[in-house]
Each structure stands twice: as structure tokens, then as C-alpha cells.
Structure 1
Amino acid sequence: MMKSVEKIGKSKEEAIELALKELNAEKDDIEIEVLEEGSKGFLGFLGAKDFKIRATLKDNYEKTTRNFLNDIFDSLDIIADINLDFKGDTLKVSVIGDSAGQLIGRRGESLDALQLLLGLAVNKKRDGYIKVLLDIENYREKREESLVRYANKMARTAVKQRRNIRLEPMNPYERRIVHSALQSDSYVTTYSEGEEPFRKVVISVKKQ
């Protein structure tokens, strides 16, 4: 749901200007609904009636997303395509371009930071929250597949050696992948321990 305000002015233009000022927006960014028609009245003042309008910000998530990312791409001489898929309250943003890989960072840390900043930009003028998921060069899918293989390998090692195994520190997103990958395993269970950013998953052998 986009943010809206109601304003009253002696003219429609005055009411619109008040709305634009409060919304910190340009005229092209809003939709205007006249709630009460104003009138100048007799001799310009007797019986005069103010205009009342409702101004609602347009849902420019696509414009915001592309401008935000293209500004970064331009500053780093990156050439990439941006694809958007908006369903429900989730916006999936996929960036494809060989040179865009430099934005992923070590274990996706730069990608996560960029996703956070993009989410803040997209939701800046919204009343309702949009969840933004950013991926570059299909990194997240590849990382998920790698984590699932890693989790299963470590689970087999834990069972074979009959001991708990503590994995490397992971962010919340990666830990959820590991927990999900092993939640139906008959021989091990998982839990997290430690404090961010060093929190890690522990694979524990079930008692048979």
C-alpha cells in the first residue's frame, strides 16, 4: 500500500503543492483524487470553498530499483541486465552480467549489504513493506546447492565419527538452508550457537 495524504488549498494547485511537499515527491510520482471541488465564490471571496484532494504515491518500485542499481553500475563501469519479478509482497531482482560478479563479495557479504540498501530504497515511501531479494549471476541458487551438499557431507561425517560437528560461521539465510536440508535426516539434528556474525550451525548425532 502506497503512502497517501489529504490536503486542502484555496486552489487545486495549492493543495497539490502541499501534498508534494509532505510526500517529498514530484508531480509525476503521484496520483491525484479530488475529494471536494472548490469554488471562488461571489466576487472572489463570498461563499468561497477550498479544494480538498488526496495524493497517493505511485508504486514506482521498478523505477526506484533500476535507478538505484544503475547508479552503482555506472560508478563501477558495470554492464548488466536487471530483471524484476514482483509477486505478492516480494520483489525478486536478478542481475546478469559478467562484470557484476564483483558486487557479490566474499561468501555473498557485499551482495547481502546491497540487498539491504536496495530494500531500504524501495520501501522508503511505502506504507506497506516489500521484501526485496537480490541475486547476481544466480549466486544464491549456486550457493544454496553448495550448502546443501556441504551439509549432507558433514552430516555423514558426524554419523560416521559419532560426534557433533560445528560448521563455519554463516549468516541467517545460509543457516536456514542448512537446517532445512537436514531437518528430515533420520540420524542427525541441527541447532545454532554463538553470536552474530560468528553464529554457526551444529550438526548433532541423534541417539538411536
Structure 2
Amino acid sequence: MTEAEETVKAAPDVAALEQEGEIAADYLEGLLDIADLDGDIDMDVEGDRAMVSVVGLKGGDLVGPGGEVLEALQELTRLAVHRQTGERSRLMLDVAGYRERRRAELTKIGTAAAADVKSSGEPKALQPMTPFERKVVHDAVAGAGLRSESEGEEPRRFVVILPV
């Protein structure tokens, strides 16, 4: 395969990702109507995934404790997309800015834990996290120049930060 072919193959199909976002938005609007909740849907494509956000909601009913309801809602939305497209979706759902706030929080946690590992030279295990949360921590640790791994089984899978 030539370099140009590899670049084309690696590039995300923006039209397909936009279609995923549209399907997800329609599905979520239906759920909001059924639940009699007022909210708006924002769609975007970031990198290789569709991003859909429910904004303008009051309260955290669609987020739940620790984002549990949000995770379930994201899986249901991915299933709705899969049902219509036949393709596995990596769609990311946010509700009322929860994921963005959590991303900032986890970046701080990952950066601070990496600093601890750098100074102590000892590996450090963090609390169990969702796949989204682990990805954010892995990115923060890599940004600090260290390596990390996920260990354990879902739902108790956690990040271990390793010294250089």
C-alpha cells in the first residue's frame, strides 16, 4: 500500500460520522420528548468520532451518580446508530457538560499522579474508572512523559502509572 493510500485509509469518514451524529440526535430527541425534558442537541465531529451533546438541561437526571446514567444512555444511543447503519459506533455523548468537566478533573488527577510517580519512582494504581475516564488519564500521563496501563476487569478496571 502506498503512503497516499494509507493516509486516505486512516482519515475518518466525516460524512459517515456526521450521519452517526444525525441518527443519535434523532434518537436522543425522541427520548427527551418521551421523558418530557427540554434540551437541545449539539453535534460535532472530533478526530475519528461523532460527538453529541445534550445542552440546556436542568438537573443531573441524565447523568446520574458518577455518570452511570450517561454511560448507559451513550450505549443505548450507540446501539440505535448501529441498528440503522450496521456499523459499530464510537460516538461520544455528553449531557449538560458533564464529560468536559470530568475531563478537566481527570487531567488534573492524571498529571498529579504522574508527578507523584516521577518523584517516588514507584508505580501508582488509581481508582477504577470507565473507559472514557481511563483514556483521559492515559493521555495526561503520556503528556507528563510517563507510561500507564489499564488493569483489572470491567467494571473495576483501573489505571496503573509506571515510572520511566
Specify the SS of the correspondent of 1:149. Answer: helix
Q: How many residues align?
A: 147
Partner of 2:3: none
Query: Whose strand proportion is higher, 1 or 2?
Result: 1
2:20 and 2:89 in contact (8 A); partners too: no
Matches within 5 A, 1:29-68: 64-68=23-27
Q: 1:125 to 1:69 in 2, by over 3 A?
A: closer
**In structure 2, what is the Cα distance between the partners aligned to 1:106 and 1:88?**
28
**In structure 1, what is the Cα distance between the partners aligned to 2:32 and 2:19?**
20
CA RMSD between the two structures: 2.8
CA displacement, residues 123-150 of structure 1 (integer Å, 9 cap, x when unaligned): 2132445542211122222211111111
Partner of 1:78: 37
TM-score when normalising by structure 2: 0.73
Specify the SS of the correspondent of 1:74. Answer: helix
How many percent of aligned residue pairs carry the same amino acid? 35
Partner of 2:114: 155
Establish whether residue 138 from structure 1 lines up as the match of residue 97 from structure 2.
yes
Specify the SS of the correspondent of 1:123. Answer: helix
Partner of 2:10: none
2:78 and 2:88 in contact (8 A); partners too: no
TM-score when normalising by structure 1: 0.59
Shift of 1:105: 1.7
Partner of 2:80: 121
2:110 and 2:137 in contact (8 A); partners too: yes
Structure 1: 5+ residue stretches without partners = 1-58
Query: Whose helix proportion is higher, 1 or 2?
Result: 2
Establish whether residue 106 from structure 1 lines up as the match of residue 65 from structure 2.
yes
